[in-house]
Structure 1
Amino acid sequence: MAFKIAMDAGHYLKTPGKRCLKKLDPNETREWVLNDRVARYFAEAAQQYEGVELLRVDDPTGKKDVSLANRCKAANKWGADMYHSFHHNAGINGGSGGGLVVYSNKGSTKGAKYRDTIYAACIDAGGIKGNRAEPVQAYGFYVLKHTDAPAVLTEYGFMDSKVDVPVILRDSFAKQMGYATMEAIAEVAGLRKKQSKPAEPVETDALDLPVLKRGDKNDTVKAMQILLIGRGFECGDSGADGSFGPATEKALSAFQKSKICDITTWKKLLGV
């Protein structure tokens, strides 16, 4: 039986005032952009679990402002088992601190369980502990009150905090939060990960695997980066971008204590 998760990236692209402070982020990154990025990584993580279905109830392009009422109606009509709203924070008396804040609706026991588990998982995954608000709260936000399913709203950091902004702008942070949020929901809901198929044996002697070094830029570098990241060696904020830069060199050195990728490296990465 399917487990249905309705989700939204809070607000929309042109919501007035919802952006990072210019003095902290010259690009004044919009909140919806940050919300959408975490939501997309959440959807990516959801693909790892059996029977999970997702419904995005805001406009995935961010161009249209879908009302909160219509978001809740869509989730309820679909029969969602859980609702999650992705946000980033600001205000609450200002200050340099910030931190994650996770909300559930007042009186919702199941919502509180999701809330507390999401907060713990996100903090364990590198989330920001703050001092500007209580980290877990019961509050009557519209989407929490008007969804039939247990609902949670997560603020992943403050857009006006000199501590939080450098962190929340990183793609790697968004990925950590998206994956941790999904893992927490899976824990509470009792979801199981899909069984991975055994890898087919690779005949490395038949492969044309070039030696790679710093400065190379091509799809083969990207393949190497994907393999490194899959083994837990991060290649920088840009991830698998096909560019062999300092971060990729550092990851490769940590993997094998050498700065080049030769046939021996390829065999280790491919597990053959």
Structure 2
Amino acid sequence: MSKTLVVFAGHYEDLFDEEGSKGIYTDTEADGQYEEYDSNIVIARHTVEELSDVDGLRVLFPQKNGADYRSLRARVDYCNRNGADMVLFIHSNASSARSAHGACAFYYYTSGEGKRMANIYRDEMQDAGYPLWSNGTYGCNPDDGWSNFFVVRKTAMPVLLTENFFFTNPKELREYLQDGKDLKKIGHIHARVACRSLGLSTNKLGDGAYSSSADPEITGVYGEGDRGPGVKRRQNLLLKLDYDMDGYGADGSFGPATVEAVKAFQKKHGLAVDGMVGPKTEAKMKEVLKAKNDSSDDSEEVKQLKTFNDNYRLESKVNDLRFYGNPSWSDEDKYGTVDAGIGFPKVERLVKVGRGRQYEVVNSNGDHFYITAAEKFVTLKETDTTPSYVGRRVESHYNGRVRFYNAPSWEDEHHVGSLTKGQGFPEIVEKVNVGGGKQYKAKNSNGEVYYVTSNENYVQVV
């Protein structure tokens, strides 16, 4: 009976540019920008290619024609809907400690089959001479917080999530994740892991060796027709030097627009004009970029592009979408995340933040945050000018007493009673500002008016 394997490369292209989210390590010595997806997708493609001739195996690879922008939940649903026997989620790791190193496989902590698969990965990586992080395997446990990976927890079949070295470790980034030979070898290892885990023969797999001496990852010379993360890294250098390649941007494909941008750069800086990026052209790009950065302000430029009235709200299209306390893409300014269908009741303005765009949004307590404006991740919806809470019930969900008043006040002289959990008022009239806070003006079943806090930590609208 045929086996079904689903393969996903972790994250997707342009995730940092669009969302300011995971999978990025900037300002390395080797290049100007690296996105985790760049190596994930190469490993995944090599894995799928090696498995193409294996008897008794059906491989599903949704990213075979390019980036797949579905949410984590949608990826899990895809695996479950197709009745996979095994799922491979291919990633590389990150840490605030630049010395963190090695490869590791994650599985759900109660899954014996998942643990067996992880052990196979560990053994294959060791046999190939690669370093391991910790002991090379880790059981994802929802109770430990940091390893509560959604795709591992929610997928109905055995899952292996591989973290192939640390892209925050400059040595591993350079030696493994930006090296075409190693990416192919790691893909070969994943193919062997899949076959061994599913009880299939490995006889039709290759040996994971690079055969093309003309491959740009080996020669260091990139030209028209080349594709992949090496091309994208060099295109990112061109973008930072203000060559937009006719709007194609860093798409990983060395096309005519990239050729013309390279020629323009070479001509401007006295290099041989051949439209190819070899060591000399690349070194000059980095030299010019460094001079440009040294002469510019390091702060992220913020520019207002558009303002909104009160008739728009924002909803996320994906799970785990970051939002920030300031107009920024920095981890330091990350405030929280929202899931698909969740968002903010008010959109105040659109701003340009660095190379991307964000909406300034306001939550129900009047707090201001910033979130990506990319249509792939968020949508704006018109709202009724009447606030959604008007006419609805407000009740306490606090394990204690919530005071209410006979006037818009926080003073004891106006305190007339308290709500316990589940108690409330059947009709909200409006929300009012009281001192430094807000209250709901609400009616009881007799039509009498009272005032109670609108703070979501104490009450909820139902």
TM-score, normalised via structure 1 length: 0.67
Q: Structure 2: how far apart are the matches of 1:187 and 1:242? A: 30
Residue 240 of structure 1: how far off its partner (Å):
4.4
Residue 231 of structure 1: how far off its partner (Å):
9.2
Contact kept, 8 Å, 2:122 with 2:132, in 1: the verdict is no
1:14 has 2:14 as partner: yes
Contact kept, 8 Å, 1:38 with 1:86, in 2: the verdict is yes
Q: Please, which of 144, 156, 168 is the counterpart of residue 148 of structure 1? A: 156
Letter in 1 for 2:138: Q
Question: Which residue of structure 2 lines up, in the alignment, with residue 31 of structure 1?
Answer: 36
Q: Structure 2: how far apart are the matches of 1:25 and 1:32? A: 17
Residue 24 of structure 1: how far off its partner (Å):
3.7
Number of matched pairs: 206
Question: Which residue of structure 1 lines up, in the alignment, with residue 214 of structure 2?
Answer: 241
SS at match of 1:95: coil
* Gap regions ≥5 residues in structure 2: 17-21, 141-147, 220-462
1:85 has 2:58 as partner: no
Kindly report which structure 2 residues correspond to 1:1-272, keeping only aligned pairs within 5 A, or say none: 1-16=1-16, 17-57=22-62, 60-62=65-67, 64-91=68-95, 93-130=96-133, 133=134, 135-139=136-140, 140-167=148-175, 168-193=177-202, 239-241=212-214
Residue 179 of structure 1: how far off its partner (Å):
0.8
Name the structure where strand makes up a greater proportion of residues: 2
Q: Structure 1: how far apart are the matches of 2:207 and 2:122? A: 26
CA gap 1:232/1:33 in 2 versus in 1, 3 angstroms:
closer
Structure with the bigger RCO (C-alpha within 8 Å, sep 6+) is 1
CA RMSD of aligned residues (A): 2.8
Residue 35 of structure 1: how far off its partner (Å):
0.3
Name the structure where helix makes up a greater proportion of residues: 1
CA gap 1:232/1:21 in 2 versus in 1, 3 angstroms:
closer
Q: Structure 2: how far apart are the matches of 1:189 and 1:142? A: 23
Residue 163 of structure 1: how far off its partner (Å):
2.4
Residue 97 of structure 1: how far off its partner (Å):
3.6
Show CA shifts across 1:100-129 (max 9, x none).
021001200001100110121123224333
Show CA shifts across 1:25-82 (max 9, x none).
31422111110000000001112421211112457522x5211111111111111000
Contact kept, 8 Å, 1:97 with 1:162, in 2: the verdict is no
Q: Structure 2: how far apart are the matches of 1:24 and 1:36? A: 22
Identity %: 21
SS at match of 2:39: helix
Letter in 1 for 2:15: T
Contact kept, 8 Å, 1:48 with 1:194, in 2: the verdict is no
SS at match of 1:164: helix
Show CA shifts across 1:124-176 (max 9, x none).
2243334xx55210113111111111001001011110221112210111111
TM-score, normalised via structure 2 length: 0.41
Q: Structure 2: how far apart are the matches of 1:113 and 1:102? A: 11
Q: Max radius of gyration: which structure?
A: 2
CA gap 1:231/1:82 in 2 versus in 1, 3 angstroms:
closer
CA gap 1:233/1:195 in 2 versus in 1, 3 angstroms:
closer
Contact kept, 8 Å, 1:59 with 1:66, in 2: the verdict is no
SS at match of 1:149: coil
Contact kept, 8 Å, 1:10 with 1:86, in 2: the verdict is yes
